[in-house]
Chains A and B, each alone.
Chain A
């Protein structure tokens, strides 16, 4: 009895050891990709050579996918690596019709399997977004089990793969982008990051939305403006400038940072630094007519002025200056509202959400062609800007 049992146990142990560790893969044998960019389809430069020599499979080149792989060590057969020896990362691009298919294509080009657990940034080129809907482009990214819904989505003016090039011996571009997106605490030109989770919700709700836009020149990338995605088609219909973006963030109540610069009576710059901002959208429905009241309350300080002698710190001066700033704010906001209603006819500022909360039954009726209804609705904005202090500066009267 005992001997038989012992034999059985040893057989079981051996079986367990032989068959075990199915999913085991040492971390250093994996290639993490931190960044992913999607471009309009055309074969990547290196791919052309490969294809000429016969490395082909049937595809229509709808997409060009670039991933940023870290760390660069161990990826021996890579060209980029030999160029930038000490670079901590390398990029690899491939074209094709499906993201997963391209990913699997990378597996025959790299010595390590790629895993997406650490994907931080997805950059989509604006050109591609004009051709394909965001839903199509992110479908795989949302389904995949590796990619976390926490990675942020950006749009690039021009080629998205250029964003990931970065400068040698500097920080990994994907990580740098994440760092830049945190600068929201300094300027509202950086919008609240759109994560895959939020993108999913926005796409599914068929409402229009904006994505942060990147502009790359040379090797420098900056956050500039916003790309508007029209909800009904899911494609990009244009973009907002930096100033509009800042105003949009304020209007949505998602940020209260930024500066307003005006020229004072002498033509010298006068700068207002925002400390707090509250924005409240109140919808009104009268019959078929939908209108919105927006109340923007903001406080801040005068932080910089160039005009000589005009450095008073009195209340009168503050009132006077706040009028000038208010005018500037009105100008900026009006410009934004005009663009949203007339140029693009897309509600990306959350007017519809407020309507849905306040008048759910009305919303049900209008939600299918909301963007059109939005462009016709009346929006009146009231402003209240007050200057509370002058920085650590005080002038004798």
Chain B
């Protein structure tokens, strides 16, 4: 067929989709979050360990999804644990996606109104953002994936350039000693390090859209490897340049990093400009991904059309965005989402796989 009617994405698109879903607000706050719980410069170790754990979890999720080719978690959850509990699980997932979307936009609004648009009401930042998101999501997963593929290379490029330039501040002593306080702080930090991968539940729906399911495992692992690498880089550079002591007191340590030097004589003397640009675009991707997942979930659980759901969800996300009363609330929400996410992407696939395996064995025994 020349004109594609099925809504499938290539495996590279799926990988980028996952990457863009994960790379979000975390990149600004991650160094502080991890370091605050650890108080040692070993955060990078934590990220690595957390990343390794995530690779396993993602693998599990993909394997689970591959049992039901072409179906999302909203569809097959019912088959595993029964119709009603399946719907319940789907609803929880949807609520979770909506709150994550709201959280992401709220973080965006906070950063934008603090650094870029002082005095602009956050609603004026949030509303147009949601509107553009609606426009994109209406185009379906293919359009979303295409936009992601435009944004991601730019983001990675700017990120790498920013870090490359900040090498001048880099002091390896800030990252030493390695394991100075033993392994305990690293394990303590694991919790926060895994929380930043909140959102990788999208794997549960994403696999259904991959054109060549055989490559799904590779694509998803690749999709999670990129954010692990970028997060690692972020932590190494932010701590290496600013030192642990500075990172723990900074609200947005990564922005502080790019703000803490000037490249004189260069047209873009201040790197926070390109950095903010890519971060905003990354947040948009992030948000549209969750937006899409949530609307997809509703449409599949209740068997309704996707289009009207997208319109209906816009105000819901807006209200979710405006619920936190202060920045402190936002961070609390972020933590809560993290814990919820832990349950979502850790317990849910584990539970589903276990039950599925037991049931499968059971039926096999009968035959």
Contacts and interface: CB of A to CB of B under 8 A. Distances in A.
Interface stretch (A195-203, A267-275, A310-318, A372-380): A195-203
15 contacts: A19-B124, A22-B120, A22-B121, A23-B116, A23-B119, A148-B259, A150-B261, A195-B260, A197-B169, A197-B246, A197-B256, A200-B245, A204-B245, A204-B249, A360-B181
A361 B261 CA distance: 34
B246 A22 contact: no
B68 interface: no
Given A145-B115, A200-B246, A357 B176 contact: yes
Give the interface centre of A148, A196, A201 by most chain B CB atoms within 10 Å.
Answer: A201
Contacts of B120: 22-23
B307 interface: no
Contacts of B139: none
Interface in A21-43: 22-23
A205 B256 contact: no
A49 B115 CA distance: 38
A22 B118 CA distance: 8
B118 A149 contact: no
Interface residues of B, number: 30
A384 interface: no
Interface residues of A, number: 26
Interface of A: 19-20, 22-23, 142, 145, 148-150, 195-198, 200-202, 204-205, 353, 356-358, 360-361, 363-364
A202 B244 CA distance: 10
Give the interface centre of B117, B248, B260, B270 by most chain A CB atoms within 10 Å.
Answer: B260
A145 B249 contact: no
Contacts of A353: 173
B293 interface: no
Closest 10 A-B residue pairs measured CB to CB?
Answer: A360-B180, A201-B246, A197-B260, A204-B245, A22-B120, A205-B245, A149-B260, A201-B245, A357-B176, A201-B243
B5 to A, nearest CB: 31
Contacts of B116: 23
B177 A356 contact: yes
B13 to A, nearest CB: 35
A150 B262 contact: yes
A149 B249 contact: no
Nearest to B40: A360
Interface in B215-274: 242-246, 248-250, 256-257, 259-262, 270
Contacts of A201: 242-246
Contacts of A200: 245-246, 249-250
Contacts of B243: 201, 205
B84 interface: no
Give the interface centre of B243, B246, B249, B257 by most chain A CB atoms within 10 Å.
Answer: B246
B256 A149 contact: yes
Contacts of B177: 356-358, 360
Contacts of A148: 259-260, 262, 270
Give the interface centre of B121, B169, B262 by most chain A CB atoms within 10 Å.
Answer: B262
Given A22-B119, A197-B260, A353-B173, 13 more contacts: A148-B270, A195-B260, A195-B261, A197-B256, A197-B257, A197-B259, A200-B245, A200-B246, A201-B242, A201-B245, A202-B245, A204-B246, A204-B248
B114 interface: yes
Nearest to A148: B259
Contact of B173 (A20, A149, A202, A357): A357
Nearest to A363: B180
B118 A145 contact: yes
Contacts of B114: 145
A353 B243 CA distance: 12
